[in-house]
């Protein structure tokens, strides 16, 4: 193993800020950067060798690879973490604009909503994965929430209660049960899971995640977070009486003062049901 790869891996093991997923992603990105720097001709680096020329070379490479602005910004955040840990913060410019990295546009009014049809679900071999997908679609759950879901605990009749241990950020939350279709999904989930979760007793979360990814890949399904977008847009239409901007509805600037207040209240409701507190978070799902 090259010195830089080894030392960055050691740095990650010594400094374990953030969630487990954050730590894994950080180490993966730093390993990739070490390999890229070696490929760019910087072959005798250590973790303390970081200089402005190395950052500029990496950014140029990423632009040449046509990576998204969001991906490049995430990598810049990891570089800043690296520089901070070796007490060389000044080698990285304070602003991404210095490197020609523009602001990421969160408000595109382009819908990322997705749905799964019955014929697509029929291609999912694992019944627990199939049910998790149905829950994602029916209630806008994240993938992890839909896998850890315990119907016997969550189903309270007219609402669901999600345990903090299932959710991103560790926030317990409540989601209303509003339709016959949702009730049907919950009843079938209860029959399948019994008093357990949608992770079978002979598997752990990591194993079930691999099963989920394998099943959806073979079924030709991807970016299932789009089911959450679709739920948000449907919920917005229920609460306001008109489509969300991302679904072809009017933009916020075209609304009357009364409609803007309705819009704001609907976004706050959806934000809470999604496990957030800020109205602005819904822009990623609904547009503006």
Q: What is the pLDDT of residues 119-147, one digit of tens each?
A: 999 999 999 999 999 999 999 999 999 99
Final residue belonging to a domain, choices 99, 116, 145:
99
**Tens digits of residue pLDDT in 197-237:** 999 999 998 899 999 999 999 999 988 989 999 999 999 99
pLDDT digits (tens, 9 = 90+) for 232-272: 999 999 999 999 999 999 999 999 999 999 999 999 999 99
Q: Which domain holds residue 237?
A: 228-286
User: CA angle 151-154-159, nearest 5°?
Assistant: 120
What's 104's DSSP letter? P
Q: What percent of the chain is predicted at pLDDT more than 90?
A: 76
Q: Are residues 190 and 210 in the same domain?
A: yes
The strand ranges marked E within the chain are 159-162, 173-176
Confidence (pLDDT) at 1: 62
48 φ, ψ (degrees, to nearest 5): -95, 5
Cα–Cα dist 182/190, whole Å: 12
Overall domain count for the chain: 3
Asked, for residue 210, whether it belongs to a domain, the answer is yes
* Shared-domain flag, residues 254 and 174: no
Decide if 117 is inside a domain: no
* Residue bearing the bigger pLDDT, 170 or 140: 140
Residue 108 domain-assigned (yes or no)? no
| Angstrom distance (rounded) from CA 175 to CA 274 | 8
Does residue 111 lie in a domain region?
A: no
């Amino acid at each position: 193993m090259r010195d830089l790869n080894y030392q960055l891996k050691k740095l990650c093991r010594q400094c374990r800020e953030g969630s487990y997923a954050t730590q894994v992603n950080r180490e993966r990105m730093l390993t990739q950067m070490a390999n890229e720097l070696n490929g760019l001709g910087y072959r005798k680096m250590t973790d303390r060798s970081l200089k402005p020329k190395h950052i500029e070379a990496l950014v140029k490479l990423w632009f040449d690879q046509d990576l998204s602005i969001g991906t490049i910004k995430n990598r810049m955040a990891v570089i800043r973490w690296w520089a901070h840990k070796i007490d060389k913060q000044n080698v990285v410019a304070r602003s991404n604009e210095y490197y020609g990295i523009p602001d990421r546009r969160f408000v595109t009014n382009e819908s990322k909503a997705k749905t799964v049809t019955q014929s697509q679900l029929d291609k999912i071999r694992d019944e627990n994965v199939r049910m998790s997908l149905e829950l994602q679609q029916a209630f806008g759950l994240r993938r992890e929430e839909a896998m850890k879901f315990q119907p016997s605990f969550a189903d309270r009749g007219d609402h669901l209660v999600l345990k903090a241990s299932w959710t991103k950020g560790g926030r317990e939350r409540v989601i209303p049960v509003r339709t016959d279709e949702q009730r049907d999904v919950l009843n079938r989930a209860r029959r399948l899971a019994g008093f357990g979760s949608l992770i079978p007793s002979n598997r752990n979360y990591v194993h079930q995640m691999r099963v989920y990814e394998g099943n959806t890949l073979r079924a030709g399904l991807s970016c299932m977070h789009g089911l959450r977008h679709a739920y948000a847009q449907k919920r917005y239409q229920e609460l306001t009486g008109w489509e969300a901007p991302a679904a072809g509805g009017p933009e916020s600037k075209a609304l009357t003062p009364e409609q803007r207040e309705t819009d704001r209240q609907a976004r706050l409701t959806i934000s809470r049901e999604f496990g957030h507190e800020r109205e602005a978070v819904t822009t990623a799902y609904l547009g503006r």
